[in-house]
Structures are given as structure tokens and as C-alpha cells.
Structure 1
Amino acid sequence: MQGKWKAKGWVLVYLAANLLLFIVLLSASGPVYATEPDNALKIDPGASIVKIEVRSFVYDYTKPWSEPRVQASSGTGFLINKEYILTNAHVVSGAKFIHLSRSNQEREFEGEVVFVAHDCDLAIVRAKKAEFYHGAQPLRIGQRPELGSEINVLGFPIGGDRISITRGIVSRIDMDLYSHSQIDQHLTLQVDAAINPGNSGGPAMQGAEVIGVAFQSLRGGENLGYLIPPSVIQKFLVDVEDGKYDGYIELGVISQDTRNPVLRRAAGLNQAGLASETGVLVTGIMPGSSADGFVRKGDVILEINGHKISQQGDVDLNGSRQPYSMVTDNLQNGARIDLLIWRQNSQQKLHFLARPTNVIAHLRQDYDNPPEYAIFNGMLFQPLNANLMRAAVSAWKDRPELLYRYSYFVRAGIYKQVDEDVVLSYRLGDRNNTYLDRYTRRIVSKVNGKAIRNFHTFLSASRSALDQGQKLVLEFRGEDVPLVITADADAESQARIQQFYGIQKMANQNEK
């Protein structure tokens, strides 16, 4: 018995020793790192990350006369210096009241918006009391992360009051639509870290540096989130250094690729010495843009700021192919742009300064102003802008000309005719406007024989005529018979319509 026990005891000691050796080896060389990964989080989140709670106004563009409803929402921000907190524009858009707090603080502080950039979905807010900044630690903006590198996304997503940290990798770097404005495209970082409501405005970190700002996710895409990269962040921060935000410049070139061999021959691109793989054909120029007055329709752009443009319209930027517009996307107002073009069978160099244009301003969502509208004889007129289109597009499927003019405003050259279209969007039923539905959802072209360019000229001409006791003769695109509104009918129906529909103001015009 004693010999057997000794043998079994030796076996147990042997097994225990080998098991201990296995555990030691696993701890030293397995996935439980002995040293911290380079991209591990190296900040105190409680000192830098800010929860932002907002009460904002939301307007109903289908009933533009109604009072705005108050919406409660929340997001995230982070300190970038001793005073400023960076977040998303959509977090604080239309804000009437802002509360700021860090997780290591016992109370909330009132905040205010300093700068808003709707075209790149960034904003800066600050606390109204210095006490908020006690113990705060600003974060440093780093460089664009490498494809496939690991990141940490910090924020206050809905469902809890404490900071959340999610991890993922950078899976794509590409130009994409910024959903806040519905029209602007800039560089984005796609990550497989979950970005949920409330995460917006929070930093994506590598070590102690911010490499992006969380701002949107893909509906229906599992764990697909998007970050605003450092280049866009830095462009915004430099822009506001003078105390105001100028916005993005607009190159203003409308172009098409030149992959078709017949097109290339017709444009003279088969000349000796001209690279066969380069060039985009200019099909239009936006008025007031950087290229206006320098680049012409029919030109072929071969290079932009030293970058060769392929037939498809992309360039090599830091080893990846990107649309050529990205070369100038982050330029500040007044920066120099250099083009090499093909014009009249010869190469020419062009130089001009970067500048913005307001020709597409109405195609961008407006979050700062109440809706513009006018009601004459119970007929509701509104500027055809992004807010109205978003609210009413489902009811306008039987008006293809309206959808076409909005969607192809630049491409079809509609901007040459008007600054923005004015639409008769709805009829508020009254005995003075029965049987006039044929005119609803149509675009006004003339007021008393005079062409209109925007809502302001429409409202001015209409008011002037009615105030003088004249009738309004409104012509519409796609409608042969004009709509006539007399001054007497408008005046007689006004009080009745206001009382029945609860309308305080029969018109609203924002200052430009």
C-alpha cells in the first residue's frame, strides 16, 4: 500500500508540475498579453469624455405654421482644449438647452454651441461655468489610422449612464455621404465597432490619440459604423480659428469618365505623348464655384494639384484610389488649386483659388431656421428644399417633374433658371379654393407674368400685388391654365382659415 501510494503521489506531483508549467507558458505567450498592445486605450475617460443632453426644436414642414415640438436627445463629445468640446453637428442641431457632464462629476453643467458645421457634421460646444473644467483632460487629434488597425470607440449610448467602450477594426477608407446634410460627401472611416444612438460625437481612439469621431451607422449592416477622420476634423478646427465657420469650398466641376474609346478620340485624347489612361471630361461648371471662369465645358482635366486623374476619375492618395475631388475637399477658402487640362488639342495649366458656392445650399438640410412658407387664399406655397422634400416626398410620387427638378438641379442645369423652386404644396380647404387641387404639388414659374428665381422673389411679388388690390396670376410648370387669386378672396378667407386651422402667421420669411 505504501509503495503504491508513493507511486501515485509521484504521478500527481508530476502532473501538477506540468500543469503549472503549461499555465505559465500560456500566460507568457498566449492571447493574454504580458505587454499592452500599441492601440490599447491610454486615457482617463472620465476626465475627457462628455455626455451631452439636448432639448431642441423640431419643425413640421407639412404644417410649417405650427409650433415646433421639443425633442429630447443625447450624444457624446470630448475635450480638445481647455474650453472646447468637439461633437457632431446633429447632436446639437436646433438646440435650445444643453446639459454637459463627465462620468467623474457629481452634477451637470449648462452648455452652449460655439460653432456648427452641418456640411461635415461637426460642432463645438462649451460649458458656461469654469467649474465644469476642473480635472479635465483634453485629447489630442492623431493621424488617420491604417486599414485593419484596431480602434476603441467611447461614448454614452442609450441604455445606460456610464461610458461605453467598444472595440473594432478599420475595415474601409472611402468617400461617402454624410447623412446629416443629405448632400455632402467627405472621407469616412468604416469600422466594425458598434456605433449606437448616443455614441454620436464620441472619439475613436488608438492609444492616447483621437483618430476619428463616431457619427453614423449603416441601417441593416451588422456592426458597421462610420467615423469622421482626422483630416476632416483638422479642416474644421483650422476653419474656425478666426472665430467663424466658412464651410467647405466647392471645386464646382461636373464631369464624366473617359473610358469610352470613341469619346477619347473625339476629345483628341489619342494624341502622341498624352497618357492614354488619364483624364475626365468636363460637362458643366457650377456658378460661383472655384472653377467658374477658369475651367470650360469640354475641357479634359488630366491632373489636379499634381495628382494624375485616371479615366475613371480617381487619383492615387497615400496608396489608395480615391475620387479626384478628394484632393481639394479639405482645402481652406482661398487656397490655390492647380489643374493640368487638355483644351483645343493642347495641354494647358490653370491656377485659381478655392472658394465656396451657395448654388446648392437649398439641397442641404436646414437645422437652424423655421420653415419658410406663404398662404394665399388657403393655398400653401413653400420653397422646394431638402427639408420639405424629406417630409413630403412620399406624397409626391405622381409628380415626376417635381422630383426631377430637385434631384437634377445641378446636373440638368436648372440652377441657371432659378436659385430654388417654389411649390404649391397643399390646399387648406375653404369655400374660396374648391376644385383647385390640380395646382397642388406643382412648381410656380411666374407671378403676374414675371419669372421668379426663389421664394423671396415669389413672396415679394405676390404680397406687392395683393397689397395694391391686384389679382395674382400664377403660372405653373406642366400646367397650361394659370391659377388666379384675387385680393378680395384672399382677404375674405384669411381670418376664416387662420381660425379653422389654428394658424398664427400666414407667412414666414427667414433673413438671408
Structure 2
Amino acid sequence: MRKHAILFTLILCSFFPQLSAGAEKEDVIGKISTSIVRVFCTSNVYNFDSPWQPPFQIEGTGSASVIGNGEVLTNAHVVAGGVSIYLKREDDVNLYPAKIIHIEHDYDLALLKVEDPSFLKGINPIEIGDMPYPRDEIYTLGYPTGGEKLSVTKGVVSRTEMHSSIHSGMKSMFTQIDASINPGNSGGAVVRNGKLVGVATQGMPYAQNIGYMVPQITVLRFLHTVKNKMPSSLPSLDISVQDFRNPDLRGYINLEKEKGGILVSQVHETSVAKGVLEDLDVILSLDGHKVESDNTYEWREGERISALNLIKTHLIGETIKAEIFRKGEVLEKEIVLRNSINDSKLATFRSFGEPPSYFLWGSLVFQPLSENYLGTWGDEWFSNAPKALISHFMDGEKTEERKQIVLLSRILPHKSNIGYSQMGRGLVVEKLNGREVKDLKHLQEMLKIHSEPYIILELEDKGRIILEAKTVKESHKEVMTVYGIYNDHSSDLD
């Protein structure tokens, strides 16, 4: 009997705490579950290989959190290009139309609004909590594909670091968690102690139980910009830096190891730091945070992250303070962060729901280089697209002489271009009859006033396309008819 009593006591001791924890979790989740809703979105998608075509539509689902005043927080990629958005509560069969108040692809966040007041009836808006720490327990709430009911998954915080967004390609602060994030979960809440501490945003391809959330600190910054009608794009310093741990390199610069710092290898022509920073400056600190020689700083006790984050925590128009080492002197500098990363790049990052910019001249289709166009080489475009285009996309910077990389994106087969249509696509146009091409609008304007007998396009690879101007002009209407082209240019070129 004594053995049975001891065994029964052990079972009780191990069983009842689990019941208590489960009951506590159920109580906390139950209070906020009404604030987690499902998103149904129909989006426009454009074909950048045939930019004259109208958009086609795709349908998708995601999750979102009601945060108060009828405002609903979700991921940008859940509603990107959305032309029809509906929200559904778990306890309600009705679909409620929603509209986008603000969307920021850099953060992968969007704020929606439902006009129908009955949507909020009985909902307890979720509050925003504090930034979680590594090994903190969290729950992800959302509507992954495969079911209609709210799904709750338990996990822990692994770490917070700079990571590239699958949606925008931008590098910013993300928090890694070990709770799975599956299609449909995106935009849902990550909660701790009944409060939102992040927005579930993406999983890691080919890995199990690794997910990422947009952290609380980024959510608050996004909501602040929306409330105050401020620019929300991530700012860019537009400099190149390099690891500064090599002792010979430090000896050449004449800076002791203990000072840390990161070496500025290049201040680009379009940089907002031009005239403030110089090549071979050493950045010792940013906003009072010491920068170590591996380009990290301690953003929270015991946690280090890339110093790039100190720039990303600012808004466009704000000033960042830098302590630098230059030729034996320590200097204090201030830099106004005026530009986003797209402001300085020759090629634009991916856009969503926006029609391509293009124009047709005879059988020649022109458009600027963009990530959307590179995407016509498929999901693995970084490996499949021409290396020259990848190089322009990654490293190309605007100058006064060149604002865009203009592409002869397609040569539509026609009797007027015999021998040219096999040259391929995505050809970089450098000159028209000896004159440098600045951007797409500039090329269009030059062709409109072109009076020489031949059109001579000089390409980056030193190839040339030479066509009789009269023949090109005469073929224009026929090409449009044959290929079903209703507009020979995009509306931005009117």
C-alpha cells in the first residue's frame, strides 16, 4: 500500500502542474482569440515579360490581428497588390470588406481598416507587449491552410538578428522562433503573456520548426509612422564597410584592437554621407553604441546584432550620430538619413500590384531593369538571369548621367527585324545614335524626335541593332495588332 501511495503522489505532483499551465494558457489565449482573424485577398499580378498585358488575379489567405479602433495588423505580403480584401472572424460566418490604410514592404507590415462597426462587436483587441528575450515561451496564432479553425502553436524565441525578408529582399531585424509558420499563418500574432510581441511572417525553406516574426520593436515603429503620417521606408546610408579584425589592416590604419570599429571601404557617390564620411574612416560608434570590429554592437545585454540595425532603427529624415577615427583623430559627425535604398539604386527592388513601365517602338520593347523583370527568369532568377543584369541590380548606383538601366527587354519577331529577334532578351541599351541613354523616359523622348535615317542602338556587350527608322515606324501598328498590344506605352510615360 505504501508503494502505491507514493506512486499516486508522484503522479499527482507531475500531472496537476500541467493541468494548471494548460488552463492558464487556455485562459490567456481564450481572451485574445477573438482578435485573430482570417484574411482573404485577391491581388493583381503583372507579367513583366509582356508588360503591355493586363494583370491577372491570384487569391490567397492569411491571418491578422485586431489591435483597436477597427485597425487590423497583418503582413504586407498577405495583401500586396490587393484589389479585394475580406476579413472573417472565427465565430462569424460573415465576410467583412477591408481596405489598406498603409502598407510598407520594407517591414512586411500592413494596416487594414474595416468600416462596418459590427465587425468589432465582441472582439477584445490585442495589446502590444514587450520585446521578448531568447528562450522566452511564445505562441503563434493564425489560420494555416488546411482548416477553418484558429490554430495555436507553442514555441520559444531563439534569437533576434538581421535577416533578409523573403517578401521584399530588404535586410532588417527579425526574431527567430522554433514554432512552425506555414502558408496561411502569415500576418498572425505571436504572443507572450496574452500580448502581441511580433507578427508571424515567414518560415525557412528546407528547414523544420524555424520561423521568423517581425518583432515588437519594428511593429511599434511602423504604427508610429502611420499615426504621424511619416515616411516609413527603411533609410540607407549607402556606404560599404568591411571586417576590421585583421591585425595588419588595423596596423596600417594605426588603431588599437581594443578600440573596435568598422572600416569604411567606400562612400558611394549617392550616399547621404558623402562629404561627411571618407574612404578608410573607422566608425567607432553610432548613436553612442560602440561598434565592434566584426560590425556588431550590443543592442541588449548579452545580445549582439549587425550595426546596420542602428541605421534601420531611424526614420527617413532623422539624424544619426557617428564617432569616427580618421588619420589619428577621433571626430564627431552627424548624418541626415534622407534616402531609402531605392533612391540610390539604378535598379528597383520588387514592387507589388504596380504595372510595369515600358514602351514599344516598332517591334522593340523597352523597360527599366527591376527585380520584377529579373523574376521573369523564375524563382531562381538570381542563378538563372544574365550575370550582367544581376551585377547591375546588386551594385548599380544612380549618377547624374544615368538614372536607370534601360533594357531592350524583348525583340518581337517580325519581318522588320530579321536576324535580330534571336539576340535574346534583357539587352542593356547604352546609347542611341551615339547619345547616352539616361533613363526610359529619356530614350522615349529621343526616339520621338529622332530624324536620322537609321536607329542605332549601342548595347552594353558592344553589339549594335541598326534599323531603318522609316521601316520601324511603318511596322508599329502591325506589330501591335499581331501581338494584341492595346497600349504602346505605360501610363507613367504619357
TM-score of the superposed pair, with normalisation by structure 1: 0.88
Q: Distance in 2 between matches of 1:325 and 1:102?
A: 39
Work out which of the residue numbers 449, 466, 474 in structure 2 matches 1:492.
474
Structure 1 partner of 2:410: 426
Matching residue of 2:200: 214
Seen in structure 2, the aligned counterparts of structure 1 residues 281 and 22 have a Cα distance that, compared at 3 Å, is: closer
Q: Please, which of 121, 131, 146 is the counterpart of residue 144 of structure 1?
A: 131
Which of 85, 93, 117 is 1:98 aligned to? 85
Structure 2 counterpart of 1:461, one-letter code: M
Letter of the structure 1 residue corresponding to residue 460 of structure 2: R
State yes or no: 1:463 paired with 2:448: yes
Aligned partner of residue 310 in structure 1, secondary structure? coil
The structure 1 residue matched to 2:435, chosen from 450, 467, 473, is 450
Confirm whether residue 26 of structure 1 aligns to residue 11 of structure 2: no
The 1:289–1:242 alpha-carbon spacing in structure 2 relative to 1, beyond 3 Å, is farther
Aligned match of 2:299 in 312, 317, 320? 317
2:62·2:185 contact (CA, 8 Å) conserved in 1?
A: yes
Q: 1:287, CA displacement in angstroms?
A: 4.8
Aligned counterparts, 1:263-412, within 5 A: 263-269=249-255, 274-287=256-269, 289-318=271-300, 319-357=302-340, 358-360=343-345, 362-392=347-377, 399-410=386-397
Is structure 2 residue 99 aligned with structure 1 residue 112? yes
Query: 1:106–1:245: structure 2 CA closer, same or farther, 3 Å change rule?
Result: farther
Deviations 1:293-325 (A, max 9, x none): 311222111111112212211111112121111
Q: SS of the counterpart of 1:80? A: strand
- Supply the AA of the counterpart residue of 2:458: E
C-alpha distance in 2, partners of 1:398/1:305?
40
Percent identical residues: 27
Alpha carbons of 1:440 and 1:82: their partners in 2 closer, same or farther (altered >3 Å)?
A: closer
Deviation at 1:486, TM superposition (A): 3.5
Written as runs of structure 1 = structure 2, the 5 A alignment for 1:119-268 is 119-182=106-169, 184-243=170-229, 245-268=231-254
Cα deviation per residue 1:180-199 (whole Å; 9 max; x = unaligned)? Answer: 112x1111111111111111
Q: Distance in 1 between matches of 2:245 and 2:468?
A: 57
Aligned-residue offset at 1:390: 1.6
Is the 1:249–1:290 contact (alpha carbons within 8 Å) kept by the matching residues of 2? no
For 1:5, the equivalent position in structure 2 comes to: none
Please say which of residues 451-460 and 234-243 is displaced more in the overlay. 451-460
Residue deviations 1:388-408 (CA, integer Å, cap 9, x gap): 012237789584333322232
Q: Secondary structure at the match of 2:417?
A: coil
* Maintained 8 Å contact 1:425/1:442: yes
Unaligned runs of 5+ in 1: 1-10
Aligned residues: 488
Structure 1 residues 398, 154: CA separation in 2 closer, same or farther (over 3 Å shift)?
closer
Whose radius of gyration is greater, 1 or 2?
Answer: 1
What is the 5 A alignment of 1:18-57? 20-28=8-16, 31-33=18-20, 41-57=28-44
CA–CA distance in structure 1, aligned partners of residues 360 and 284 of structure 2: 51
* Residue identity opposite 1:179 in structure 2: I
Q: Which amino acid aligns with 2:324?
A: I
Structure 1 position 286, deviation (Å): 4.2
TM norm structure 2:
0.91
Cα RMSD of the aligned pairs, angstroms, is: 2.6
Cα separation, partners in 2 of 1:299 and 1:129, compared to 1, 3 Å: same
- Cα deviation, residue 201, structure 1: 0.5
Residue of structure 1 equivalent to 2:54? 67
